[in-house]
A and B are shown apart, each in its own frame.
Chain A
Amino acid sequence: MIEYRSIGKTFADGTEAVGDFSLVLPSRTTTVFVGSSGCGKTTLLRMVNRMVDPSKGQVLVDDVDIATRNKVELRRSIGYVMQHAGLLPHRKVIDNVATVLRLNGVDKKEARDRSYAVLETVGLDSSLATKYPSQLSGGQQQRVGVARGLVSDPNILLMDEPFGAVDPIVREELQAELLRLQRDLDKTIVFVTHDIDEAFLLGDQVVILKKGGEVAQVGSPADILAAPADDFVRSFVGIDKGSRTLHVEQRDGVDVVVDGTGKATGVLEAR
């Protein structure tokens, strides 16, 4: 469990990234922070592994204030996947994946074996293991990034717009892959995105943020759609635009689902 208690963050240059933020992120679920740039979502994510320390308040992981923990050890116990994968260009794929294990003192042989296993888990062919990151496609690099985040089997996985830099088709593949992985692995995932569709797809708990880390609404995707808190949320999730307000029209005895703009999106089946 991750808990934010009255967190605030003002950077050295005076920018207030987060004003006053409190939230509990239940274990073994995916929480998505979603909002436009400047809403503090990445700052909130980076507080979990102390890449950013809050100016006020506390972050607790399993009821322990992480300010009391050694930064370097804390980071080694938490998986981190970032945009553009953030791989080390001078290390082969397999060594990139093994990085955290080696830093944790796992011996070379075991680290390699576990890294090959996790490459397979994320759907990468073992022939890529001896390549350098620059020799891989963007989507493959991102898979390596996910493999690196998972290799030490951390309880917590932080994902900072991990699929933001890949093309839409690859992004859909990676999203599906993450859902499949999460079904098997049951990690506590903190995911940051600016894409509300991605947030609704991946999140058990979705946190919609306004400027300065102000919470517009927290809830499951269904809760948010059923009862949007205000006009900001309505507009942010797209209810205003009509793409999320669906109704049924009859066509030759079949129930066709049509959205608010009149576009047919599917058919209704009895379960």
Chain B
Amino acid sequence: MSWFLDNFDYVRELFVRHAWISVLSTLIGFAFALPVGWFANEHPRLRGASVFIVAILYTIPSIAMFILLPGLLGTPILSVSNVVVALAIYAAAVMVRSVTDAFGSVSPAVLDAASAAGFSRAQRVFRVELPLAGPVLLAGLRVVSVSTVSMLSVASLIGVSNLGSLFTDGFRRDFLTEIVVGIVAIVVLAVALDLLINLVGRLLMPWASAQQTPRARISLARGSRA
């Protein structure tokens, strides 16, 4: 505990760094996965292919990816951008699948009704499909944000400092306290991000939680049975 207090500023610096690298990577991955997943859902024949390619990407070991990318991108070996790009690729790889499922989960009857009401193609995509895919998109984002936070710690092995540096350092010095502090900090960050995404989702999609009320379930059940 005293080690933690003595090194509080250092741990805080790593925490903030770890947070922004993982958030940025997740967001870039999401921004990439969103159109690809939408497109894959629109064209069912491409669905299998896209999921396959993306699965192959995911099998590349992260340490190999961290080492290969500087050569491919022409960036310095210690640059943070290598790590951000690598994590964004993994994030996108996982999310393409869930984005495709998210758009696939939107009821065709609702889309048909929207067209009949006079939504143009683009209006329908942005004002009906995207918001209705929201809950499943959010679920995918939550999974990826946690896995990105944990995967980032591997990058400390190639000299890009983050909370994982506390493991490598603690391991080298055979100093358990530092390792434990690192683990706790990573868990705290992952949980905090998860809560944050959940909160943003509730604010953006109040209708999704409205649907969970018991009364709504009863009326839904009644509607579908009649």
Which residues of A does B touch, CB under 8 Å? Answer: 49, 51, 72-73, 75-76, 80, 82, 84, 86-92, 99-100, 103-104, 131-132, 134-138, 141, 148, 165-167
List chain B residues, Cβ under 8 A from A148: 117
Q: Output the residue of A134, A137, A165 with the most chain B CB within 10 A.
A: A134
List chain A residues, Cβ under 8 A from B215: 135
A sample of 18 inter-chain contacts (CB < 8 A) reads A51-B116, A75-B115, A80-B116, A84-B109, A86-B110, A87-B110, A88-B114, A89-B107, A89-B132, A90-B207, A91-B207, A99-B117, A131-B210, A135-B219, A136-B219, A137-B223, A138-B226, A165-B223
Extra pairs beyond A134-B211, A166-B223 (7, CB < 8 Å)? A72-B118, A72-B120, A73-B118, A82-B113, A88-B132, A89-B132, A135-B210
Which residue of B117, B210, B213, B222 is within 8 Å of A137 (Cβ)? B222
Q: How far is the CA of A249 from the CA of B158 in the complex (A)?
A: 100
**B119 interfacial contact with A, CB 8 Å:** yes
Q: How far is the CA of A220 from the CA of B131 in the complex (A)?
A: 46
Cβ distance A60 to chain B, nearest Cβ, rounded Å: 20
By size class, the interface of chain B is: 20 to 34
Which residue of B120, B128, B208, B223 is within 8 Å of A88 (Cβ)? B128
Within 8 A of A (CB), among B184-226: 205, 207-208, 210-211, 213, 215-216, 219-220, 222-223, 226
A141 touches B223 (CB 8 A): yes
**B169 interfacial contact with A, CB 8 Å:** no
CB nearest neighbor in B for A91: B207
**B112 interfacial contact with A, CB 8 Å:** yes
A90 touches B132 (CB 8 A): yes
**B123 interfacial contact with A, CB 8 Å:** yes
B210 touches A132 (CB 8 A): yes
Q: How far is the CA of A103 from the CA of B123 in the complex (A)?
A: 9
List chain B residues, Cβ under 8 A from A99: 117
List chain A residues, Cβ under 8 A from B226: 138, 165-167
List chain B residues, Cβ under 8 A from A91: 207
List chain B residues, Cβ under 8 A from A100: 117-118
Cβ distance A215 to chain B, nearest Cβ, rounded Å: 25
Q: How far is the CA of A49 from the CA of B207 in the complex (A)?
A: 30
List chain A residues, Cβ under 8 A from B211: 89, 132, 134
Cβ distance B37 to chain A, nearest Cβ, rounded Å: 19
A75 touches B118 (CB 8 A): yes
| In the A-B complex, the 8 residue pairs with the closest CB atoms | A86-B113, A76-B118, A138-B223, A75-B118, A80-B116, A134-B216, A132-B210, A90-B207
CB nearest neighbor in B for A89: B207
Q: How far is the CA of A103 from the CA of B119 in the complex (A)?
A: 7
CB nearest neighbor in B for A84: B109
List chain B residues, Cβ under 8 A from A104: 118
List chain B residues, Cβ under 8 A from A88: 110, 113-114, 128, 132
A138 touches B219 (CB 8 A): yes
List chain B residues, Cβ under 8 A from A131: 210
- A135 and B118 in contact (CB under 8 A), knowing A88-B128, A90-B205? no
Cβ distance B70 to chain A, nearest Cβ, rounded Å: 44
Q: How far is the CA of A75 from the CA of B121 in the complex (A)?
A: 13
Cβ distance A234 to chain B, nearest Cβ, rounded Å: 30
Which residue of A86, A87, A135, A165 is within 8 Å of B112 (Cβ)? A86
A49 touches B116 (CB 8 A): yes
Cβ distance A130 to chain B, nearest Cβ, rounded Å: 11
B213 touches A135 (CB 8 A): yes
Q: How far is the CA of A84 from the CA of B226 in the complex (A)?
A: 10
List chain B residues, Cβ under 8 A from A166: 223, 226
A89 touches B223 (CB 8 A): no
Cβ distance A98 to chain B, nearest Cβ, rounded Å: 11
CB nearest neighbor in B for A96: B117
A90 touches B131 (CB 8 A): yes
- A137 and B207 in contact (CB under 8 A), knowing A75-B117, A80-B117, A88-B114? no
Q: How far is the CA of A141 from the CA of B226 in the complex (A)?
A: 13
Cβ distance B102 to chain A, nearest Cβ, rounded Å: 13
- A86 and B222 in contact (CB under 8 A), knowing A132-B210, A134-B216? no
Cβ distance B107 to chain A, nearest Cβ, rounded Å: 8
List chain A residues, Cβ under 8 A from B115: 51, 75
List chain B residues, Cβ under 8 A from A73: 118
CB nearest neighbor in A for B107: A89
B118 touches A103 (CB 8 A): yes
B219 touches A87 (CB 8 A): no
Q: How far is the CA of A175 from the CA of B215 in the complex (A)?
A: 26
Cβ distance A78 to chain B, nearest Cβ, rounded Å: 8
List chain B residues, Cβ under 8 A from A72: 118-120
